[in-house]
Amino acid sequence: MFVFFEIMLLSSAALIVANETSKVTKISDKMEATMKYLVLNILGGNVMLIAVTSLYASIGSLNMADITLKIRILAEAGTVPWHLYAVGLLFIIVFGGKAAMFPLHYWLPDVHPTAPSPISAMLSGVIIKIGAYGILRVLFMIFAPFQAVYGPIILFMALVTLALGATSAVGQSDVKRMLAYSSVSQIGYVFLGFGMAAMANVAGETEGATIILAASVIYLINHALAKSMLFLTSGGIIHTADTRDMRQMGGMINKAPLMGAAFLVGAMSIGGVPPMGGFISKFMLFDAGLREQFYLPIGIA
């Protein structure tokens, strides 16, 4: 898993720095964003390597199913070494950074606007979802006995992430930067589900935790589809208008009606307007959270 994360980092960095025919993006901005992406992910890779080696030194295995079983046995016996909690936290930091969770989200709003639009669609639809997948494996499989510690941390970070992403998106005039901050906010909703599911598990509400987790995964898939469409459409709009500034894009519905309609559908889905997929996934997540009495987190969301 570590090795393939590194391969993904290098290949995606090459795609981000790829030049476009459009003159809208300055090459200096592109290089700055790529450097941020590379440096943060190389640091993350080193932290992940430390976590993997620490886990191997403590458990004596690299097979995830084997590690899961051994940690569960240690937890039941009450002999868990204290540093294993820190190792799990390192994994959460690494995967949280790849998923653009606060406070490691700041690379995303720079990378999205400067990357070619098809790459922005892939980054939002695939790359940040891999970070969420990593946390899913860590929180609900490898370090499942530690959910009482990690659940509240992820829930708090998720609420900050979704609030920060949404408020930051409101103040943008660059269309791709606005969509990037929106992606930060949306990944906050996914992690909100993860945090609530972990805490429900600790409380013994296994069925409720399963429903919340299922709602989070549906949200993840819906966001990947809707946001990819928005980034692809915004790319077409930028090439038509020859600018990323929304203040200079008036009358696009007349120039490019098909792209305007597609953007509207994507925006309605992300905003949770019935009967779009975004409404269904938001409704499922909120309903599942309210059933388990997470009133304050759902209220904030």
**258-300 pLDDT per residue, tens:** 888 888 888 888 888 888 888 888 888 899 888 888 889 888 8
- What is the tens place of the pLDDT at every residue in 216-246? 888 888 888 888 888 888 888 877 777 777 7
Distance set, CA 258 to CA 60, 163, 233, 271 (Å):
57, 32, 9, 20
Segment (H or E) for 137: helix 128-137
> For 130-186, how does the pLDDT look when each residue is reduced to its tens digit (9 = 90+)?
888 888 888 888 888 888 888 888 899 999 988 888 888 888 888 888 888 888 888
Q: How many angstroms separate the CA atoms of 32 and 167, rounded?
A: 24
**Alpha-carbon dihedral sign for residues 46, 187, 277, 211:** positive
Quote the pTM value. 0.83
Any idea what DSSP says for residue 21?
A: S
pLDDT at 78: 77
Quote the tokens at residue 48: 């992940």
62-71 b/e with 16+ CB inside 10 Å = b? eeeeebbeeb
